[in-house]
Structure 1
């Protein structure tokens, strides 16, 4: 295990009545990154995050945060961790500022922290309004402000843009992206939105039915998307037989021939060969798997994110 890993789990599992919502998950979140924990609703994301915070006891496996065992040093770990799990907790009859003041005393942080986090989440002009009167998006912002109050070394967010309008999503996205460089905060966030993780995360873990199917950088995930060249000709069966004799292995796809990971020189060679044999090439098309295609391939399921 690397010393720069902020979050490390080994065979982390949770069992309920014979079911395994989390099954032997090995998470590795490196210092200074934004780690997107991606999966459909019900995949095990929230259960995993709750175990990282000690809110749920694992059935099996270990959790280390900041290189320390959660079982032995939970209080010390939580003092350096901020979190927003499922939905914000607040006192509805109190104002946003009063809610923040209560958390300030519990966290033992200076007044300037309250002012700064309210400004960061753009609630400074709504701080004297009762929390019950906040919109869903404003309540989400209040929850994020509370999570940021101590400017923790690790911030764990469960679906952080839930309930926000498009403008609010953009603002929270920019806020999260700024945290590692500006405040030295490592971010672990869960989401069922592939587009959100794609725009935010530097690393990603894909979970489905409790199992971690992929973990690595966004770059390495994109590299799993092979490029395919599709050819459409005036006589596909004849073209296929000709190309097979030249060492190519075309795959039939509807009315086209498909080739994986060809160099430009190979494409030019095939085109020339077909034309020389009086087989008209009517279309050459390049397609690269999208992140959604890769996700569906990994999970083996066509389920919406």
Structure 2
């Protein structure tokens, strides 16, 4: 089992985050998902020591953040809220500033520029960059030390679809190519679905789901809906054979059924001359599950 890179226990910031137990394992892309104002950015700031928790504990790389903050941050890269840069400096010069502050070799600068595809714009002033290029510059700064842990707060925020896809593809390569663990926040369900291996859903400062993306998908258990020519007779017949469908919208609605069970129900109805006019399967989408967990419409 992969070791935990981030662990929080009952992490709390008064009026913002409530007893949050967050666990991010090595090599994951962990999608931290929630509506705007749910407490995502506050949580990430606490993980970086930028905001002091009201209560709770934070361990990163197995060490207490309060005791080993400097050593932990040397192995961590981050982009919180929006990129910070000097507009009058070029992209390359901005990276050189970070390089000198962190004592990094020249090869890191060249590799970071290549990863975010800014080689051809390295000598252009940052103030003249497009929004997407500024975002990529911010990610390059976060990547410059090639950290064990990369924390990104809404990295595709404000980008057009092409820019969003480019950033997603970039992030997806980082664990395999560089051994990084990525904690990525977003209010966009579709984004997390396309990129994350694990997910935590926060709502009003509380964790309402945490686990693999597959385990979240498993909540989308389907239901079988059957239209018949005589629902009352069909209900009576099926009850004798142990089936208890609900009646909704003029249809018999069953929970998840195996294919053999659907076939048996159809056979029973047809054998009693009860016309079966339609059989359909409906599954809840991840969006439906998200709305159910957060109790509100998804932010766009």
Q: TM-score, normalised by structure 1?
A: 0.95
Residue 121 of structure 2 corresponds to residue 126 of structure 1: yes
Which 5+ residue runs of structure 1 have no aligned equivalent?
none
Corresponding residue pairs, total: 300
Q: Hey, what's the Cα distance between the residues in 1 that align with 2:297 and 2:130?
A: 34
For 1:104, the equivalent position in structure 2 comes to: 99
Distance 1:238 1:3, change over 3 A: closer
| Root mean square deviation of aligned Cα | 1.3
Q: Hey, what's the Cα distance between the residues in 2 that align with 1:300 and 1:118?
A: 41
For 2:5, the equivalent position in structure 1 comes to: 6
Tell me, yes or no, if the aligned pair for 1:39 and 1:191 is still in contact at 8 Å: yes
Q: Hey, what's the Cα distance between the residues in 2 that align with 1:140 and 1:69?
A: 31
Q: Deviations over 1:116-140 (max 9, x none)?
A: 1111111111111111111111111
Q: Deviations over 1:110-164 (max 9, x none)?
A: 1111111111111111111111111111111110000000000000000111222
Residue 195 of structure 2 corresponds to residue 200 of structure 1: yes
Q: Hey, what's the Cα distance between the residues in 1 that align with 2:211 and 2:282?
A: 23
Q: Hey, what's the Cα distance between the residues in 1 that align with 2:298 and 2:156?
A: 21
Tell me, yes or no, if the aligned pair for 1:3 and 1:67 is still in contact at 8 Å: no
For 1:298, the equivalent position in structure 2 comes to: 293
Residue 152 of structure 2 corresponds to residue 157 of structure 1: yes
In the TM superposition, 1:136-155 aligns within 5 A as 136-155=131-150
Report the alpha carbon displacement of residue 5 of structure 1 after superposing the two structures with TM.
0.3
Match of 1:57 among 43, 49, 52: 52
Match of 2:242 among 239, 247, 253: 247
Q: Hey, what's the Cα distance between the residues in 2 that align with 1:151 and 1:253?
A: 55
Tell me, yes or no, if the aligned pair for 1:231 and 1:283 is still in contact at 8 Å: yes
Q: SS at 1:125's partner residue?
A: helix
Tell me, yes or no, if the aligned pair for 2:36 and 2:299 is still in contact at 8 Å: no
Q: Hey, what's the Cα distance between the residues in 2 that align with 1:255 and 1:90?
A: 61
For 1:222, the equivalent position in structure 2 comes to: 217
Q: Hey, what's the Cα distance between the residues in 2 that align with 1:87 and 1:166?
A: 18
